[in-house]
Chain A
């Protein structure tokens, strides 16, 4: 399944999360967590997620993120774009990132 993203857009971490790197893990705590169980309140990213997250910095366009990752992982842009789009949607759904204004 192909997911389209606007490669010209720039995203940054939301003000409503606290992000800390702890023992090699990126830990994300949403400040506006749903009133649910503990599983809604503390998140980490897997290795590829970390590679993308570290580039969502409010400066790079998504095109630049895809290009850098394609170089680093020696993979086709299309595959990387799929991965970036998937994570981007998840992060947006969880309100962990916002588009740069």
Chain B
């Protein structure tokens, strides 16, 4: 054998995306484990930011509710998205990124892999916020004008880059 056999930690060195990540996450959650991964993108800003570590837990017996942040398999791309449930329409879940102007295509219960139960930013745990606020935010978030307003407010009040 040319190289001694080794087990390697794969964090940061393994590009899992799309269906691969969905399959792996689905298998872990199905067996009752939780799945941690690094979130990419700004569609859930400010609740989840690019680079945050997200912990997804299996749904168990609890049905998803408006306001929950869930990991789901996007019906068009087959990849995993982490967005908020903003409504239930005819038994299908309407999901949307807090910072996205439009909703995702509605999905059935079978496409929801698990709930986001934990969040870490720069090595520190962050609270997800109380459920009643999440539900209120979900209802407001359905409207594009609210998202635009939130974006504008964030731009206005955010600290300019480069200043401490």
Contact = CB atoms under 8 A, between A and B. Distances in A.
B8 A41 contact: no
A73 B3 CA distance: 11
The contact size tier of chain A is 35 or more
Interface stretch (B25-33, B80-88, B90-98): B25-33
Interface in B37-55: 37-38, 53
Contacts, number: 99
B7 A22 contact: no
Interface size grouping (class) on chain B = 20 to 34
Given A45-B5, A46-B8, A48-B1, A38 B38 contact: yes
A32 to B, nearest CB: 8
B4 interface: yes
A6 interface: no
Interface of A: 18, 20, 22-23, 25, 27-29, 31-33, 37-49, 51-52, 69, 73, 75, 79-80, 83-84, 86-87, 90-91, 94, 96
19 contacts: A22-B24, A25-B10, A27-B10, A29-B33, A31-B33, A38-B36, A39-B11, A39-B12, A42-B14, A43-B10, A44-B10, A46-B3, A47-B2, A48-B3, A69-B1, A79-B1, A80-B1, A87-B5, A87-B7
